[in-house]
Amino acid sequence: MNNNISRKQFLQYTASAGAAALLSSLEGFAAEARQQKLRVAIIGCGSVSNRYIPHLQSSLFIEIVSLCDIKPERAEAQNKQYNVGAKTYPHIDAMLKGAPFDMMVTLTDMQEHGRLNKQALLAGRHVWSEKPMANTYAEGKALLDLAKQKKLRIWGAPAVVNSPQFAFMNKCIQEGKLGKLASAHGQYGHTGPTWSAFFYEKGGGSMPDLGVYNMATLTALLGPAKSVMAMLSIVKPERTVDDKGTVKVEAEDNAHILMDHGNGVISHVMCGFNFFDPHGHEAGNQSLHSIQIFGDKGNMRLIGYDWETNGVILDDSWDQAPKLLSTDKGGYVWQEGATKVGESLINKTEPVINVEHALHVLEVIEAARKSSATGMKVAMKSGFKWPLM
Ligand SMILES: NC(=O)c1ccc[n+]([C@@H]2O[C@H](COP(=O)([O-])OP(=O)(O)OC[C@H]3O[C@@H](n4cnc5c(N)ncnc54)[C@H](O)[C@@H]3O)[C@@H](O)[C@H]2O)c1
């Protein structure tokens, strides 16, 4: 049996999850419906758009006005499937000249993000970008500088800091429930996407696709990384994917990353495209933990994944059993980032998600590549305001 996640399986799953998100979000916002809506344009109408489109549609503050894909039939198909009623475009140039919009949501191949995000900012649009927001830290920093110069906003996925489980773990740490912090571990993997080659090409890899979630969670909980060491490898030199057939794997499909957060705190992330995990994308029932944090007075385990959270086990007693706490997702879903930042633009509030944090994680990925190639520990330049809340 093939345990990879097929495009068809993912589409089937995302359609039902989208309907649930639509209902719960509509209930939440009904009382506060406003006239003014943020006009959103989506670029990249592949797999992940099946999650983003229904979630954005669930907001009373947002209207999807344009859909764009270099495979134009995909933009048209999504327009029809989700009754979006948007204009569709085969190229970003046409979209920027077409129906007016306020924020671009970038859901294309990872390697295209930096270039497209820059074009949108230059054209005066806010940006929410799937990860990574650029191919290098320098390119990402230049995007932020450009946004600031043009009085625009740019944000990058993931949205892991939005979950109630993140807030709970953050509070436990900040209140000293774990005592003196020492070590943490995060892991995320599956057997790899089967639909598109870009995940395996240069600029792709398991770090920007998967490890990025744990890196975001651990740096947000423990503080910015001061330095990084890593070992990366390619376990399967070739992959067969829907769009290009058999391709050479150029980016790491197996990665171990160590981060030094200062004050003696060290964390470890492992991620890869060769991890058997029957939960895969459909991780709702995962009852095991994927994140652990240890201090000298307690430890915590995040049940599920930081992007699909099912609760937190807190173990801080010598004589009582560990407690399963914070089991309510409170409506959190991993695809909510664009909706939340879009609503923050309309409501003039500041979201928890913060672009300096996304940039910092991008630098961790770059540092890990450098460390693995050279065998050296790599010092980090960037930081972000911490703690986040
Ligand atoms: N699929 C998932 O489960 C998932 C989950 C979370 C995040 N993401 C992220 O979302 C992004 C997209 O992933 P995906 O799985 O949807 O990929 P995909 O291959 O299914 O879709 C990408 C789409 O972008 C289009 N595209 C590429 N370059 C373009 C350009 N220059 N202009 C317009 N369209 C362009 C492609 O034609 C394709 O339709 C990646 O950054 C990925 O890491 C994916």
Alpha carbon nearest to ligand 1 atom 9, residue:
130
Angle between helices 49-57 and 337-347 (to 10 degrees): 30
Residues 6+ apart with CB under 8 A from 345: 38, 102, 103, 126, 153
CB 367 within 8 A of CB 228: yes
- Give the mean pLDDT per block of 10 residues along the chain (389 residues): 38 42 45 72 98 98 98 98 98 98 98 98 98 98 98 98 98 98 97 97 98 98 98 98 98 98 98 90 84 98 96 97 97 98 97 97 98 98 95
Where do the domains of the chain lie, and which CATH numbers do they carry? 7-156 (3.40.50.720), 160-332+352-379 (3.30.360.10)
Testing ligand 1's pocket by substitution, the residue of 48, 239, 365 carrying the most ligand atoms inside 8 A of its CB is 48
Would you state the pLDDT for residue 281?
66
Would you state the pLDDT for residue 279?
79
Q: 317: CA distance to ligand 1 center in Å?
A: 45
> 125-135 burial, b for 16+ CB within 10 Å, e for fewer?
bbbbbbbbbbb
Testing ligand 1's pocket by substitution, the residue of 92, 109, 212 carrying the most ligand atoms inside 8 A of its CB is 109
> Of 230, 216, 241, which Cα lies nearest the Cα of 359?
216
Q: 107: CA distance to ligand 1 center in Å?
A: 5
Alpha carbon nearest to ligand 1 atom 31, residue:
112
pTM of the entire predicted model:
0.92
Would you state the pLDDT for residue 31?
38
| 298: phi then psi, degrees, rounded to nearest 5 | -175, 165
Q: 12: CA distance to ligand 1 center in Å?
A: 17
Ligand 1 atom nearest 157 alpha carbon: 7
Q: 344: CA distance to ligand 1 center in Å?
A: 24
Would you state the pLDDT for residue 7?
43
161's torsion region: left (phi>0), alpha (psi -120 to 50) or beta?
alpha
Would you state the pLDDT for residue 26?
45
CB 227 within 8 A of CB 257: no
Q: Rounded to whole angstroms, how far apart are CA atoms 71 and 191?
A: 26
Q: 15: CA distance to ligand 1 center in Å?
A: 17
Would you state the pLDDT for residue 36?
86
| Binding pocket residue ranges, ligand 1, CB within 6 Å | 43-48, 68-71, 74, 92, 107-110, 112, 116, 130-131, 195-196, 209, 281
Would you state the pLDDT for residue 258?
99
Ligand 1 atom nearest 10 alpha carbon: 3
Bridge partners, 187 (sequence order)? 270
> What would the two tokens of residue 202 be?
């240069």
Testing ligand 1's pocket by substitution, the residue of 108, 111, 206, 362 carrying the most ligand atoms inside 8 A of its CB is 108
Q: Rounded to whole angstroms, how far apart are CA atoms 26 and 29?
A: 5
CB 359 within 8 A of CB 385: no
Q: 85: CA distance to ligand 1 center in Å?
A: 21
